[in-house]
Amino acid sequence: MSYPELRLRKGTERSLLNGHPWVYSGAVDQPPADAAPGCLVDVVDHRGRFIGRGHYNARSPIRVRILTRDRETDIDSAFFRARIGRALRLRLDSDLTGQTDAFRVVHGESDGLPGLVVDRYGDHAVVQFHTAGIDGAREDILDAIDATLTPTGLYERSDVGTRRAEGLPDRPAGPVRGTPPPDFITISEGGAPLVVDVYRGQKTGFFLDQRDNRLLLRRLCQGRELLNAFSYTSGFSLQARRGGAKQTLDVDVARSVLPAARQNLQLNASADGRSDLVIADAFAFVDDLGRRGPRFDAVVLDPPALLRKRADYKKAMGVYIKLNRNALRLLRDDGLLVTASCSSRITPEDFFAIVQRAAASEKVGLRIVAYNLHPPDHPVNPAFPEGRYLKCVFARVIR
């Protein structure tokens, strides 16, 4: 097959040659002629030398997302089958399957499949098409998922905001292959049963990336009183209950989390534990409660990404610091702060600074006892720093 060519401006090829998968608009010298959004192009340097082949979209500031650097590789059904097969092997070769039957199978750029997300929940799978290019290959991709994962049913949740920047319509969600999933899919996380609502849940239904942190909290919770802020479907609290927590209090702003959260707390109830769930703005809630002094042995902070645009960096740092300081006010001596950030623009160093400044302003000491980054089903390509987003610190408070 031959593909239209996109020529780069002289001197812009460095990061691509180092493995980065994106060509920004500013690097383009000559765009391909008559290229529809999502079509395949060959990216060449200013002298016409082949660099890679990928999906093109003139409507996105990311003009090309590279799929292969091998000129002989066609982007066809065999290609998607091989890529998805490799992604699945990477998960099966980790220690994930001993822990859970739910994991991310394809994590976009990090698996060499820009714009594609596939999550597995038990026997079912959920797919998201984020870009015009990947959306154009949907039939090949659905076939490839079917062949590699053999799920009972495959459900699509492409109702993501990122599609708008690609000029794509917000595709309504729906079943695309096999049997539609039940209202709630029950999965297991470290032996704890929990339900996932792939129809109405956020993202594809569950935040699989926090699994290791939930399981670590479980081992540190015996007899403790926990505040779980930004609790979604009570993932941290259900593990805390498994770990013998005396009390858990969940706070989330979205009323839609209630049905799954209630089931999850019930499924993991213990005889002497107690659990409550409040629908409220967690920033204000933690602030208000903090004014009344320490009252918890553990606080989890797992907010959504608070920094999206570079211009908001300072403001977002301030919001993170204040949130963490308010959480520290709630913690007793020896209490455990579990704090996370999923903004890729907040670097690990930024995050340490946030935690340090929160402690300094609250005048407490902290000892970081765990510092976790990505689990194996959200792998990181070192050539793609934008794909590094998750940071989670476990720290003990010294009053």
Residues in contact with ligand SAH by CB under 6 A are: 202, 207, 210, 214, 230-233, 235-236, 251-254, 257, 281-283, 302-304
Choice between 230 and 389, CB closer to ligand SAH:
230
Which residue has 């209490």 as its token pair?
Answer: 335
CA neighbor of 112 nearest in space, from 136, 140, 134, 135: 134
Q: Is 106 left (phi over 0), alpha (psi -120 to 50) or beta?
A: beta
Cβ of residue 296: shortest distance to ligand SAH, in angstroms? Answer: 16
Choice between 158 and 234, CB closer to ligand SAH:
234
Which residue has 């006010």 as its token pair?
Answer: 329
Choice between 183 and 281, CB closer to ligand SAH:
281
Question: 39, 221, 342, 392: which is the annotated catalytic residue?
Answer: 342
**Tally of CB atoms within 10 A around 238:** 31
Cβ of residue 280: shortest distance to ligand SAH, in angstroms? Answer: 7
CA-based max dimension of the chain: 72
Determine the Cα angle at 236 with ends 397 and 336, to 5°.
Answer: 5
Catalytic annotation on 342? yes
Residue with smallest beta-carbon separation from ligand SAH: 235
Cβ of residue 389: shortest distance to ligand SAH, in angstroms? Answer: 13
Which residues are identified as catalytic?
Answer: 342
